[in-house]
Amino acid sequence: MAGPAARLLRWFRAAARPFPWREPFPRDPYRTLVAEVMLQQTQAARVAPFYQRFLAAFPTLEALAAAPQEEVVRHFSGLGYYRRARLLHATCRTLLRRGGWPPPGELQSLEGLGSYTAAALAAFCFGGSEPPLDGNLLRIAARLLAHEAPLRAASLRRDAAALGRALYLEAGTPEVFEALMDLGAQVCRPVSPRCPDCPLKGSCRAFQLGEPQRFPTVPATRPVTSLLWVAVWIRSRSGAVLLQRRPPGELLAGLWLPPLRPVLPPAADPCAVARELARSLGFAGSLQALPAVRHSITYRRLTVVPFALGAEAPRVAEKREDQRWECPDTPGVPTSSLLSKLAAAAGQGASGGPPATTTPGDPP
């Protein structure tokens, strides 16, 4: 073995990033499943701490399957794409019910496992040889072959799969798949690739053309839309904050956040909307505008203006299934990082600089 795969593996063994899911092959399928689901559309360095905490809470497939779904989602809080957690929970229950793992070729029938995750599990745990097609391999293939197409094009997927198979055939270990991912993350990066350091530059058409950046082509980006919301931040004497479960079908569905309401039209007065929201919850009293918080959800840019309820608020809200009091620092329910941003804004408003008494401006 002296071809590209050998150079790639040599580079990888010297430069590999240490990640907690990188155990010897074949790997434990449960832990690998957790890692691969978390890694979907999420940068590996960000996954690592979530992965460790998650496995400490759910060390085995049986432990995860026995837990309520909300507990599983709670351990995803801040990671995004929360449907992943619900589907992971469903898959673990499916596995327990059917008494074990299906044949590697049928992994994709499990909830939340698409072609990438099924191939990764098969390769890392069950001796599979089909390459997991992730964004890294697709980009590397586009450049090696000077394949001018968007990342998701079917033609590029075919070529990338063929490239992955050829490299696996030469290497004989699923380590090449991880090597490709690290190469894509560290060398063959989307912007400013480090071609001089690349172990595959000798076989790279894009490098020979001198324009690695041109591949793959970038699809038209969806325009970003701005939204303005208000939140009411209602604190109890013990420091708990009123949270509501986001309704299904809306953004951040199923997660627990302070009462939120869109400001429509965007030119409307956020303060009036917040007053009406507080009134609908049974709270009267003065509202204090806090510093606005920004939060991005795919192509939407949210500006959330929190309003703190004054001290004359009633102590209890109406008892509802979708409503509860939680400490914002250690919530016992699934939530989003938007909660900690709002908590930070409330903290600043209370102890930091001068409180905002005027209505904040519209979002950009």
Q: Which residues bind DNA (CB under 7 A)?
A: 19, 21-22, 36, 39-46, 78-83, 87, 111-118, 120, 132, 134-136, 139, 151, 154, 178, 181-182, 184-185, 189-192, 218, 221-222, 224, 251-253, 255, 295-300, 336-338, 364
Which one from 36, 130, 178, 326 is the annotated catalytic residue?
A: 36
Nearest to DNA of 76, 283 (CB atom):
76
**DSSP E strand stretches across 78-118:** none
Q: Shortest approach of DNA to residue 279 CB, angstroms?
A: 27
Q: Shortest approach of DNA to residue 78 CB, angstroms?
A: 5
Angle, CA of 36, 38 and 41, to the nearest 5°: 95
Q: Shortest approach of DNA to residue 125 CB, angstroms?
A: 12
Cβ atoms of 234 and 343 within 8 Å: the answer is no
Q: Shortest approach of DNA to residue 129 CB, angstroms?
A: 16
Nearest to DNA of 177, 207 (CB atom):
177
Going 336 to 341 to 345 to 350, the CA torsion angle's sign is: positive
Nearest to DNA of 189, 205 (CB atom):
189
How far apart are alpha carbons 102 and 26 in whole angstroms?
16
How far from 265 is each of 166, 228, 259, CA to CA, in Å? 56, 9, 19
How far apart are alpha carbons 50 and 52 in whole angstroms?
6
Going 313 to 314 to 318 to 319, the CA torsion angle's sign is: positive
Nearest to DNA of 208, 298 (CB atom):
298
Neighbours of 59 (CB within 10 A): 12
173 is written with which tokens? 């270990």
Q: Shortest approach of DNA to residue 334 CB, angstroms?
A: 9
Nearest to DNA of 19, 325 (CB atom):
19
How far apart are alpha carbons 55 and 329 in whole angstroms?
21
Q: Is 211 a catalytic residue?
A: no
Per-residue HEC secondary structure of 17-64 comes to: CCCCCCCCCCCCHHHHHHHHHHHCCCCHHHHHHHHHHHHHHCCCHHHH
Catalytic residue positions, numbered: 36
